[in-house]
Structure 1
Amino acid sequence: MADLNVSRRRSGQRRRAKWAAVCAGLVLALGVGQQGAAVASDSTAPPKPPRNLLAFPAAAVGSLANPDASPAGADDWNCRPTREHPRPVVLLHGTWANAYNNWSMLSPWLKQAGYCVFAPNYGGAPGSPIQATAHVPDSARQIAAYVDRVLKATGARQVDLVGHSQGGGLTPRWYLRFAGGTDSAHPKRNKVHSLIGLAPSNHGTTASGLGTLTTELGLNQPVSLLVGQAYADQMVGSEVNRTLDRDGDTQPGVSYTVIATRLDEVVTPYTNQFLTAGTGATVRNITVQDVCRQDLSEHLSIAYDSNAAQLVRNALDPAHAKPVDCSLTLPVLGG
């Protein structure tokens, strides 16, 4: 019996070591590969979007080990914008995500392309891998302070915001309208030039029916006590949504791009993501399957979708937009 117990312990130790090696390998594959890309910025040809089916799972594992880490390429506070890319790019993660697991593909790629890239965690406790759970106006104030820091450090006049889910929808829109991101009377004083949203929660979500159920039963606030106020804020008809939508979708002087997927299972219906341009603003609403028919990205994997990444790059620099080299993207895994 003693020998059997020893054998079982050794077998368990081998299994744990095996899975630890697998996780470490995923993180290493992502971190080393993407870091190498981030520093290889001398190429004259624009880099193509990376394609790595393991990028999102690896980033998710990596963020558990170090949730406060910046994604590769981000948060170089000595970076100075160039004539070609005069505006820093601030990446805003989605609900229950963090900067590392949301942006470990796009951040190093944009850095390699010559942008100054910044990616804060917001709306959550320091040291937690789960961020963006706070009340949307509170998160917007955090973003306002962060953008001011970026502008001061880089010497830039404006930034471009690229966000996923909440980070491309309600929270940056609240910042633009109510927390100092724009000056509607003097749009040239805006701190933000562009807002590019990947699957953004612009007009609330039914969450594939779950949100409709909790709304009808009056359970949004009780659920939010467990998962964060951002849940209730993003439901269709929430007070935050009503306040934001009261005077239109946009702010003067800002260029808006929405990149949505028909397969979105989180921000539903996906057409709730689209914006309508008001006075002095421009809006481009894009459904990724209209560009690439074989794109199977859903809410999570659109942040690791090389097709969507090229659309982001085109929105950041429309004067040098490139055709999307459509590739297969899979749910959750990306590509």
Structure 2
Amino acid sequence: MTDRNVSRGRSNRRRSRWGAVCAGLGLSTAVALQGVAAASGPPAPPRPQGRILDTPAALAGGLLHPDAPPAGANDWSCRPTREHPRPVVLLHGSAANAFNNWSMLSPWLKQQGYCVFAPNYGGVPGSPFQATGPIADSARQIAAYVDRVRKATGARQVDLVGHSQGGGPAPRWYLRFEGGTNPAHPKRNKVRSLIALAPSNHGSNVSGIGTVTTKLGLNPTVSAVVGQAWSDQMVGSEMNKKLDRDGDTQPGVRYTVIATRYDEGATPYQNNFLTAGPGATVRNILIQEICPQDVSDHLSLAYDTNAAQLVSNALDPAHAQPVRCGLSLPVLGG
């Protein structure tokens, strides 16, 4: 064999070896990339679209169209998915309605794939000022609505997200007294989670106004004008005494409370927080401890994108995302 043939044979063998090495590297890279893609899972949902003036716009819309549901809510043909097996029921606060309370959070949760429902309750149909009646009556309306949602969707349980009264005494009364839970058999509960924004859990003094009306015996007079929900939510009311008598929580329910230091409605804000009883879990969050620049007040906490991410995390703890803290303002949100 000539030297040229020997050299050509060696060169061919070297090319074959390099080809095998490159092919191996390519295969390893492809496998690695597939592993990264599998580990990363589906992309995180986009940040909720919080914009200055969203809150005033929603308030105006709620006055003009008080019976309209917020975008994304009340699709009675919606069926829960494996990723989001429980419908979300949004419960507005006192003297509010579903439209003006949930026009940011409702479409965002719908975008994530939840079946979202938002009733008006506790007021005269057609009035923009709902959740003004007795707490016990409101709780019975919530009970009927949850049963309707469960029947329509086929879901065994729902998650509740509420603001102010809708995160505090109204759903807690429903859980304790109107069939929302089954303490003897918590797996039969109709509700898995209660997530509350600025809830009036242990009564409010409304920045001291309620203290004055209580001491002067004026709560019945005020309630005759604005509704029984005023008296029911005052610190030390008979409703609060009955609701708190056997503890704050019900077995089998996950509770999350999101409060703001700048609350002027459900005050003092420490009254928002709950204490876990047997079989329940509670996470109390002061939003300024997560986002120090957040200055949301009682109203704008429902239009606070930082709080919205905390709500999403509480609904789906296994896929919680970091809160990308942004500025949120009193009244305006952000």
- TM-score between both structures, scaled by the size of structure 1: 0.87
The match for 1:317 is 316
How do 1:135-284 residues align onto structure 2 when only pairs under 5 Å count? 135-284=134-283
The match for 1:47 is 46
In structure 2, distance between residues paired with 1:218 and 1:45: 52
The residue identity in structure 1 corresponding to 2:154 is G
In structure 2, distance between residues paired with 1:220 and 1:158: 37
In structure 2, distance between residues paired with 1:194 and 1:223: 33
The residue identity in structure 2 corresponding to 1:254 is V
**C-alpha deviations, 1:40-72, integer Å up to 9, x for none?**
xxx954121222112111111111111000000
Structure with larger Rg:
2
The match for 1:71 is 70
Deviation at 1:193, TM superposition (A): 0.2
The residue identity in structure 2 corresponding to 1:60 is L
In structure 2, distance between residues paired with 1:49 and 1:311: 12
**C-alpha deviations, 1:300-335, integer Å up to 9, x for none?**
000000000000000000000000000000100000
The residue identity in structure 2 corresponding to 1:329 is S
The match for 1:34 is none
SS of alignment partner, residue 208 of structure 1: coil
SS of alignment partner, residue 58 of structure 1: helix
In structure 2, distance between residues paired with 1:60 and 1:300: 10
In structure 1, distance between residues paired with 2:134 and 2:116: 25
SS of alignment partner, residue 207 of structure 2: helix
**C-alpha deviations, 1:180-223, integer Å up to 9, x for none?**
10000110110000000000000001111100000001111111
**C-alpha deviations, 1:83-115, integer Å up to 9, x for none?**
000000000000000000000000000000100
Which blocks of at least 5 consecutive residues in structure 1 are unaligned?
1-42
The match for 1:88 is 87
In structure 2, distance between residues paired with 1:63 and 1:162: 19
The residue identity in structure 2 corresponding to 1:131 is Q
Q: Does 1:133 align with 2:132?
A: yes
In structure 1, distance between residues paired with 2:195 and 2:77: 24
In structure 2, distance between residues paired with 1:243 and 1:47: 42
Which blocks of at least 5 consecutive residues in structure 2 are unaligned?
1-41
Show structure 1 runs of 4+ deviating over 3 A: none
Moved more, 55-64 or 322-331: 55-64
Q: How many pairs does the alignment contain?
A: 293
SS of alignment partner, residue 77 of structure 1: coil
In structure 1, distance between residues paired with 2:272 and 2:60: 29
In structure 1, distance between residues paired with 2:323 and 2:198: 18
The residue identity in structure 2 corresponding to 1:65 is L
